[in-house]
A and B are shown apart, each in its own frame.
Chain A
């Protein structure tokens, strides 16, 4: 039986209502089923990386109506724009591409439907900068993660964002489990990842003094680190803007017009744009955008994850990033048979193992993050959290971070990853459309890989544009972006000197995170202007501490209103509809 026939058989066994065809080098699934699990299973079964470009899974879920959140702005602000490159998506990938392209004298336009950059996955992840130890050598994940990880050392200096290369740890619980770290050490050599080694408990405790009591040893990966993904995102965006790129927020791509295998125009809520080239960095909507361009060969299946943020008080219990090895089973003194052990090791090493498991991460702000979990969902924008999930994550992770308690939780959030069924990145030139570059399927380790993906996309874009005319280097390109100062981390003397120059640095607005009015004003006056409470919060943290903005949000609202010369009622949390205040009180109105 041919591989196609055998796939059809397996998929039909899931549900006879699914129709399987081969079209334009893709395997296409259609039909309607009554649970999402079947949709995802069918998509997975259809994968054949050698034979097809990818899986187009259009199976519908009965009774489910996808609803995309669109910005309410409707105007002609960008109508008729003719950029050389139109980047769709202001996440890490899109902004990295914008920055790389701004090294050239090009008209670069980035559209983002959210009210700020880093609106999706890029702000909704734990911030680990990954080592990339278990990727297949031929995968794009391996290619871009390896390069991106190295780039972080340079970018940190150029763009002035927080990054620490503390190393990552994978903990094991028993002697027999040493086999997994040993195999991974061998793999690391094959992938040229330096320094990976096994640590016994004693060595482990030197690196991570609060390692859990059950930890027998650990795989140590010194090139791992952590960063603040949205700060990286903002830094890339600001640097791109400084070097001439244009970032258009609250701007969503609604449709495209194609002619002769090329995108002719792109319709947005703020007018129609006529780009020479389009970069698709649309995250969870990457397949929708590719479809508009007639270039779709893949399907994004939304995979939600929830993260929990714990108080700084427990931040000291983690210095690196720790995960429990996938073969470590805790509790009950459970004895595994040899066959079970082999099965687990095989799974741990296989590339099917798409999730790295829930991690305990030290953050750049000295909190602790635990998460994320994995949930396949139909809704691309479902970032709701639920009690059951946070309880489960906390329960599980209290085994790894033994010192934490539920009362240490200060916040939780969810994000939606954008994997393809092939589970690899789809960074490529257009196949069926000449003037599009795809950057799709960017899930973990996307934050690590994004800078390298940006380089690749920019190179391809320049090559493409050179076909129709000369592309000059931007001689004025400045790779450096200075972040706004963080006074709490300075010495008394340095702080005093800054306050003497600008007294606003001496007026504390956010008591939990010790953020001054001056620091907030700096953020408002940065190259990518900031108008919303959430955008301020992301950039300099007022509202991220233990009071969650109770004390400072009215103050920040007033600072924003004064700076922009508007009423406090015009200041929003994020979108136009996310009002904070409605009207004056009776007395105040009179």
Chain B
């Protein structure tokens, strides 16, 4: 079989990308490895999704439902419970190899949208040591047990990391009768959204300990306790501050990593900062014909941004034709930690470029500057910028007469 666009991943990004490509008249295939569409939203039963997209607060399943209904009503072909094992580029096409319960097969496609989401950082990646008992879960895994299986993985737990899923799980576990002793965050500021700090921790009297981390776990069978320590400004534990907390569970919410193993297998260049493919304003990676959307591109804090970027990626993928691109770099400068897209294609429209970026630290009365080869072409003031809260900006680059080999830099300065 041949398709114009194949979307890999049936979460919010993949759903939007497939719908957008379909709307543009492309022949679309959507591949999802799980039995049901919706991705991680299936287990996000809390509300707060869709404020930007629909102007209402929906739960994760409700939000994805709106897209799934449209996909089901469309001409998009779907392969569910189907796992992509390998992708090869053959001439101007991609051959996608997959397996599912029917067998092993392959299809061909002109353009590819990678909407593969992200995975959670593990205990080993944050260098937790000690024994190897049961009772240590990433927040997403705990969420799966509680919300999809209806099972409690902990009775009395500590949460490491103040990422959003960790905060959501602090509330969820409390509501289900578990004791959440506290959320420990190695950074001096919380990693999750401010609204979640209020709604999930403060409203439930769950303490948040900043500049603290879990260094060790105890227990031969099931977890019996953890050791927490204060950390210094480099996030290194301060000797002498060890404290042992008796608990049977440790929930980790210590960051998400875009899943780009397929992209890497195709030698798609990856941005070290976002850990997603380097892409242009049409969300095409540096590899021709490979588009990227959602959390595989960079970790978003709102699903609405995922939908927005994925819609654009899907739409552009439908019109993909091989033609020469003139790519220039967009770099995160002083005060910013990353920017997406990382490239501008001067041969594509520049009049309505959406930029997503994060500040490197919390700043008040910040001024954003966009510089082209050192010359400021755009400025904007922000009352406050915080690393956990991604900023979004729409810019018309067409008036700046950007030339080949120039570099765009975005900078955040405290006023």
Contacts and interface: CB of A to CB of B under 8 A. Distances in A.
Contact of B103 (A385, A411, A496): A496
* Chain B: number of interface residues, binned into ranges: 35 or more
20 contacts: A383-B131, A384-B131, A385-B129, A385-B130, A386-B129, A488-B85, A492-B104, A492-B105, A492-B106, A495-B103, A506-B100, A549-B141, A550-B122, A550-B141, A572-B134, A581-B152, A581-B153, A584-B151, A585-B146, A585-B151
A419 B127 CA distance: 29
A308 to B, nearest CB: 9
A22 interface: no
Contacts of B150: 584-585, 587-589
A313 B152 CA distance: 35
Contacts of A487: 99
Contacts of A514: 83, 85
A399 to B, nearest CB: 21
Contacts of A383: 131-132
Interface in A544-576: 546-551, 553-554, 558, 568-569, 572-576
Interface string A459-495: 0000000000000000000000000000110001101
B145 interface: yes
B165 to A, nearest CB: 11
* Chain A: number of interface residues, binned into ranges: 35 or more
B141 A496 contact: no
Interface of A: 69, 313, 383-387, 390, 407, 409-413, 487-488, 492-493, 495-496, 499-500, 503-508, 511, 514, 516, 546-551, 553-554, 558, 568-569, 572-589
A233 B145 CA distance: 32
Interface stretch (B191-199, B214-222, B362-370, B393-401): B214-222
A496 B124 CA distance: 36
By Cβ-Cβ distance, the 3 closest A-B pairs, closest first, are A588-B150, A577-B221, A573-B134
Given A488-B85, A582-B154, A586-B176, A410 B105 contact: no
Contacts of B104: 492-493, 495-496, 499, 506
Nearest to B221: A577
Given A412-B124, A546-B119, A580-B134, A499 B145 contact: no
A506 B119 contact: no
A506 B99 contact: yes
Contact of A558 (B102, B140, B149, B216): B149
B99 A499 contact: yes
A410 B125 contact: yes
Contacts of B99: 487, 495, 499, 505-506, 508, 516
A495 B98 CA distance: 11
Contacts of A493: 104
A487 B97 CA distance: 14
Interface of B: 33, 81, 83, 85, 97, 99-106, 119-120, 122-125, 127, 129-135, 138, 140-141, 144-146, 148-155, 176-177, 215-216, 220-222, 264
A586 B147 CA distance: 11
A568 B151 CA distance: 9
Contacts of B140: 550
A313 B275 CA distance: 15
Contacts of A554: 141, 144-145, 148-149
A74 to B, nearest CB: 16
Contacts of A580: 134, 153
B132 A413 contact: yes
A388 to B, nearest CB: 9
Given A569-B151, A578-B221, A585 B129 contact: no
Nearest to B143: A554
Most B CB within 10 A of own CB, among A383, A546, A554: A554
